[in-house]
Amino acid sequence: MPENRPRIIRSVRLPQPVEDRITASFDAPPVPTSPLSTDEVFRLAEETKAEGLLVTHHAAIRGADVERIPKSVRIVATVSVGLDHLDVKAILDRGIAVTNTPDVLTDCNADLAMMLIIAASRRVKAYTEIIRNGWGHTLAMDELLGVRVSGKTLGIIGMGRIGQAVAKRAKGFDMKVLYHNRRRLDPLDEHGATWFGNLSDMLPQCQILTLHLPGNPESDSIINAKTLSLLPKGAVFVNAARGILVDEDALLDALNSGHLFGAGLDVCRNEPDPAPRLLAEPNVFMTPHVGSATIETRTAMGMLALDNVVAEVAGKPLLTPVKA
């Protein structure tokens, strides 16, 4: 067996093509049967003198965890775009590289956001429950009506790669697109959308609002009772970004009062155990944090993480380095 096989620990089972590559080209413990905790990842890394850690949010490395990273580790390669589970600056300060997997999951996350928009607007949760219960009666002309998506005004908070991809898709539905960022994008990246530097000015115009920004202390509860009250009555809300962005009590109050028509959520605050009120709410359509969950995208994410480990061990430039 070649001596230059990179030694890695992966915190979760990866798609089969990625696992096949690990078997062929890396030294690693057996495939985890369930996601490993941070402690388990560190223990295995210490035992095997691992050079690379492939992690997701299941194995967060924050605060005091950083000092416990085994000395053999040269790179933390997160199989995600989001970095809220890593204390990036502290890891870099230890001389350990950090990489993520941008770009390869943009399209699938944008596709899922559009699915949530349509599902929440067209009452897919209610329709699915009717069919599962056997249907049994013809619906009246005014029964279980949804709202039309085509032609609506869509507001996007966070016009990064995924936000831009959503804007492009929204054009196919003849939607008017608005967006809020701290800074305006180059017009070529706006895809015809209109920039609002002030969120409060944009929200009253948004018949549908979707979130595509990182979760951090600054953005914690950016969606709250005040911001929700600025949306027009009957608006649809979508979050395919991070659960921390939303005050869930305020969201449920807005739904129960009828101020919001519906919500589509791929994330929540207490994953993987959503608040019972969220699950019970008839106008909330939820998916289990699966924005990147396609064969093509998850495979590409795993391969990119491995490519970064190979580059680091070989002393070559990283493909997708994360800076402090």
Across 190-218, b (16+ Cβ under 10 Å) vs e yields: bbebeebeeeeebbebbbbbbbbbbbeee
Which amino acid, one-letter code, is at 276? P
Specify whether 161 is catalytic: no
Q: Residue 276, preceding bond cis, omega within 30 degrees? A: no
Which phi and psi (to 5°) does residue 29 adopt?
-65, 170
Q: What is the DSSP letter of 65?
A: G
Starting from the edge strand earliest in sequence, which strands make up the sheet with 75-78, in order?
8-10, 52-55, 75-78, 97-99
Residue 48 DSSP SS3: helix
| Catalytic member of 191, 242, 269, 298 | 242
What's the token pair of residue 150? 């085509």
Specify whether 271 is catalytic: yes
| Catalytic member of 47, 68, 148, 271 | 271
| Catalytic member of 10, 289, 298, 312 | 289
d(CA 13, CA 34): 7
Specify whether 312 is catalytic: no
Q: What is the DSSP letter of 260?
A: E
The catalytic residue positions are: 242, 271, 289
